[in-house]
Amino acid sequence: MFEHVHEIRIRYRDIDYLGTVYYSRYLEYFEVARDEMMWALGLPYSLFEKEGYAMPVVEAHCVYRHGAVFDELLRIRSCINDLPTSRLRIDYSITSADDGLLIVEGYTVHAFINREKKAVRPPRFFLDLLKSKWQ
């Protein structure tokens, strides 16, 4: 298992007329958390791209438990539970940093592609990094 926790504050742009975060924004929060997880792994996504790879999302899922409001601080826990053989799944849970209330749960599934946009296996340097930090 490789796990990472990142906090973000909710901005005005993110909330809708109901006063809570607009539903597609959580996929953006997932991306931010994923991005920070890559930094924590020692492989910023921009570096991953420079190596000639990309990890496009092939599936995304969100379950909305409670509405998060403006100025609230959210804690996003991203977790890779299985070493990827072809695809990578990342699970997320977003809670209120203040009281731990569960806001959103979800996951994304990623393919690996090369510069020619062809599907490839997860690159070895990525797997090696994951294994070195696996718990």
Residues lying near its own copies in the complex (CB under 8 A) are found at 9, 11-13, 15-20, 22-25, 27-28, 31-32, 35, 44-46, 49, 54, 56-64, 67, 70-71, 108
Instruction: Specify the residue, 61 or 121, whose C-beta has the smaller distance to its own copies.
Output: 61
Give least dist CB 71 to its own copies, A: 4
Instruction: Specify the residue, 28 or 128, whose C-beta has the smaller distance to its own copies.
Output: 28
Q: Residue 104 burial by CB count (10 A; 0-12/13-18/19+): exposed, middle or buried?
A: buried
Give least dist CB 102 to its own copies, A: 13
Give least dist CB 61 to its own copies, A: 5
Tokens of 125: 């340097």
Give least dist CB 135 to its own copies, A: 26
Name the residue among 37, 44, 32, 41 with its Cα closest to residue 74: 32
DSSP-H helix ranges across the chain: 25-41, 45-50, 124-132
3-state per-residue secondary structure call for 2-14: EEEEEEEECCHHH
Instruction: Map residue 96 onto helix, strand or coil.
Output: strand
Instruction: Specify the residue, 117 or 124, whose C-beta has the smaller distance to its own copies.
Output: 117
Instruction: Specify the residue, 2 or 107, whose C-beta has the smaller distance to its own copies.
Output: 107
